[in-house]
Each structure stands twice: as C-alpha cells, then as structure tokens.
C-alpha cells in the first residue's frame, strides 16, 4: 500500500503493515539496529568472515568484525494498534548488492546508517534510494572512536538535500533506534502531505 493511501481509521481492526529498510555500508550497525529494536527474535543471516574473504571484503576500519550479513535481517516493531513496522536489514557488502532490488520491493522508506570513520561507503545506499524515489533518513551511528561531526557537516559531506533528516543514534540502544524510526515516519508523513513540495 502506498503511504498516501494509509488510513488509520479505515474501520478495520487489523494493523497496517509497513516495510522499512535498514541499510548502509559494510559494518555500520544494521544488524545491531534491527536486533535492538525488534520485539520478536530477529531473523539474522550472519556468516563468519573467513580467510576466503581476504581481498574480497574491505575490513579497513572494522577489523574486529567477525561476522557479516549474507542475505537480510528481519524484525518487527509495533508502533501502536494501527501500525506495525517490518524491518529489513540489508547486507552491507558490495558482493550482495544484487539482493537490494528484491529487498526494496514494496518498501515505504529506509534508514541509511552511517559511520563517520567511513562516510563514503554510504553513497551507494543513498544513490540507490534517490534513484528509486524511496524516502530515507540518515542515521549517524555514533561509534566511540569515530570523529564527531555536526549535522551540517554530515549533510555537506554526503551531499544531502535540506529536507532529508539526519539523526544521531546508538544502534545498540532501543530508544535511540526508536527515535530514528519515528523521524523516518514523520518525514514520510511530511512528504505525503498535499502541501509538501515535490
């Protein structure tokens, strides 16, 4: 269902289900975010990063990482009795890009998680959503050793338009992840309102 068609007072007892993607580059915290926020045990498709990944996966900046998502993460969060979000975490590595089109099918919106130590790996996800007209919010996952930038600096570095919200979060913290999703939902509502610029 398109967001414009969503009517919380449609007279049905059934909640509306909305598909949201949690995306971004390799090792930015996508699986962590889905696990933090999901009210069901999340489905994960993690595989060990093996010696065979050497030269294939770029581990620079995330050397301590031992597993990686090879298909998707899946979780669910109930916003209220009329709205349930289904969360799909994308794989982060280039070699799983072919899955993104399938995962994005029917998605209402997306979160692009970024790590300020490796901002440039966010471009692929941003380009993907911009080119498909999928509304997204950027969430900076604040790793301890990552440089601190203001939202203005992040917007500038990622060449984002003024309307795309940027939020700072800790992917390990449920309330922080909830705030990210609420920002995305508010952005989707603003985009869908008749007064919103095209």
Q: Are 111 and 88 in contact (CB under 8 A)?
A: no
Q: Mask of contacts with Mg ion, 8-37, x by CB under 5 A?
A: ----------------------xx------
Q: Is the dihedral of CA 62, 68, 71, 77 positive or negative?
A: negative
Nearest-10 Cα torsion for 24, 73, 27, 107: 0
- Confirm or reject binding of residue 176 to ligand GTP (CB under 6 A): no
Under the binding rule (CB under 6 A), the answer on residue 29 touching ligand GTP is yes
Cα 121 from Cα 26, distance rounded (Å): 7
The stretch among 7-15, 26-34, 80-88, 187-195 that binds ligand GTP (CB under 6 A) is 26-34
- Token digits of residue 175: 């309330």
CA nearest to 3, candidates 15, 16, 21, 12: 16
Q: State the DSSP H helix or E strand holding residue 180, giving kind and residue range, or none if neither.
A: helix 174-192
Q: How far apart (Å, rounded) are the C-alpha atoms in residues 43 and 67?
A: 15
Candidate residues 65, 95, 132, 163; the one interacting with ligand GTP per rule CB under 6 A: 65
Cα-flanking dihedrals φ and ψ of residue 132, to 5°? -100, 5
Of 31 and 183, the one with the shorter C-beta distance to Mg ion is: 31
Q: Which residues pair with 88 in a beta bridge?
A: 21, 74
Of the two residues 90 and 176, which places its CB atom closer to Mg ion in the complex?
90
Q: How many residues bind ligand GTP (CB under 6 A)?
A: 19
User: Is residue 27 involved in binding ligand GTP (CB under 6 A)?
Assistant: yes
171: partner contacted, choices ligand GTP, Mg ion, none (Cβ within 5-8 A by kind)? ligand GTP
Give the footprint of ligand GTP on residues 115-144 (CB under 6 A).
141, 143-144
Task: Give the residue with the Cβ less far from ligand GTP, 36 or 135.
Answer: 36
Residue from 18, 171, 177, 188 in contact with ligand GTP (CB under 6 A): 171
- Residue numbers of the site for ligand GTP (CB under 6 A)? 26-32, 65, 68-69, 91-93, 141, 143-144, 170-172
């Amino acid at each position: 269902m398109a967001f414009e068609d969503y009517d919380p007072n449609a007279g049905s007892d059934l909640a509306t289900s909305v598909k949201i993607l949690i995306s971004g580059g390799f090792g930015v915290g996508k699986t962590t975010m889905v696990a933090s926020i999901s009210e069901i045990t999340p489905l994960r498709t993690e595989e060990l990063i093996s010696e065979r990944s050497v030269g294939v996966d770029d581990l620079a900046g995330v050397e301590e990482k031992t597993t990686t998502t090879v298909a998707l993460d899946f979780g669910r969060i109930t916003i209220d009795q009329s709205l349930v979000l289904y969360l799909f975490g994308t794989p982060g590595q280039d070699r799983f890009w072919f899955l993104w089109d399938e995962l994005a099918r029917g998605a209402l919106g997306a979160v692009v998680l970024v790590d300020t130590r490796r901002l440039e790996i966010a471009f692929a996800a941003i380009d993907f959503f911009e080119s498909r007209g999928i509304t997204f919010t950027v969430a900076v996952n604040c790793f301890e050793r990552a440089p601190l930038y203001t939202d203005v600096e992040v917007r500038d570095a990622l060449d984002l338009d003024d309307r795309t919200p940027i939020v700072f979060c800790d992917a390990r913290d449920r309330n922080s992840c909830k705030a990210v999703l609420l920002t995305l939902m508010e952005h989707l509502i603003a985009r869908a309102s008749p007064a919103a610029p095209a």
